[in-house]
Amino acid sequence: AQSVTQPDIHITVSEGASLELRCNYSYGATPYLFWYVQSPGQGLQLLLKYFSGDTLVQGIKGFEAEFKRSQSSFNLRKPSVHWSDAAEYFCAVGERGAQKLVFGQGTRLTINP
């Protein structure tokens, strides 16, 4: 069965600094991969997704992620964070031929002014 690991439970960065959130997955074939963001008290919003083609994926709000098959990773990056990026971020994997998603535990991002 597929699984997702987000090794960092909580990350703090300064406003304007670069950001990388880690995501590792376990799946036998090429997976569908997603990053969702959850602002406090809100539902989840899709940032970006990968299912084929270019391994560098651009998303909303200036985020990007790179699929690395050799490392089973799909890390999320942003060159310069804003205070409004403070939120919880979830990586998820979808199984080809199915509809279900499996989510990681989430990474809470705090931004220092």
Partner 1 sequence: DAEITQSPRHKITETGRQVTLACHQTWNHNNMFWYRQDLGHGLRLIHYSYGVHDTNKGEVSDGYSVSRSNTEDLPLTLESAASSQTSVYFCASSELAGAHETQYFGPGTRLLVL
Which residues bind to partner 1, rule: CB under 8 A? Answer: 4, 6, 32, 34, 36, 41-46, 49, 51, 90, 92, 94-106
Identify which of residues 3 and 80 has a Cβ nearer to partner 1 in the complex. Answer: 3
* H, E, C per residue of the chain: CCEEECCCCEEEEECCCCEEECCEEECCCCCEEEEEEECCCCCEEEEEEECCCCCEEECHHHCEEEEEHHHCEEEEEECCCCHHHCEEEEEEEECCCCCCEEECCCEEEEEEC
Residue 14 Cβ, how far from partner 1 at the closest point, in Å?
Answer: 26
Nearest approach, Cβ of 1 to partner 1 (angstroms)?
9
